[in-house]
Structure 1
Amino acid sequence: MALSMDEQRILAEIEIRLSEDDPRLAHRLSRIGKERRRRRIRLIAAMAVAVIGVVTAFVSAIITAFS
């Protein structure tokens, strides 16, 4: 659901006031999305490594069995 121009302006004002009143909290809140992306990237990378490991083990077992 898109915000109206007035709602966007009000939200921007709230964000500015938050940054002025409590810069530490504003900084922590701005990092939330970035941390989620990092975790997701790490999870995908770990899954890819696991799949590659399983495939490598499977192929090695097949090659060893027929050698």
Structure 2
Amino acid sequence: MSLSMEERRILAEIEIQLSANDPRLAHRLSRLGQERPRRRIRLIAAIVVAAIGVVTAIATAIITAIS
């Protein structure tokens, strides 16, 4: 369901008023969608690093036990 021209105009006016009245909030809202992929990438990187750490610790324990 798409918006009518009147609804688009009203939303544009709200956006303009928000930017004028609270530019900091408007900036944060405009970046809201951009931050999610970065968070996912950081989460995936943290999981990979943790997995490598666990594998390294297990391998070290096995090698130490064998020796």
TM-score band (shorter)?
0.5 to 0.7
Structure 1 range deviating more: 20-29 or 7-16: 7-16
Pair 1:65-2:58 in alignment: no
| Count of equivalent residues | 66
Trace 1:1-67 onto structure 2 (pairs within 5 A): 3=2, 15=15, 19=19, 22-67=22-67
Aligned letter for 1:47? Answer: I
Ranges of 4+ aligned residues in structure 1 off by more than 2 Å: 2-26
Per-residue deviation, residues 9-59 of structure 1 (Å, max 9, x unmatched): 876676566556654333211111122222221111111110000000011
Change (3 A) 1:65 1:11: same
Which structure 2 residue ranges, 5 or more long, are not aligned?
Answer: none
Q: Percent identity?
A: 71
CA distance in 2, matches of 1:62, 1:36: 39
Give the TM-score normalised by structure 2: 0.62
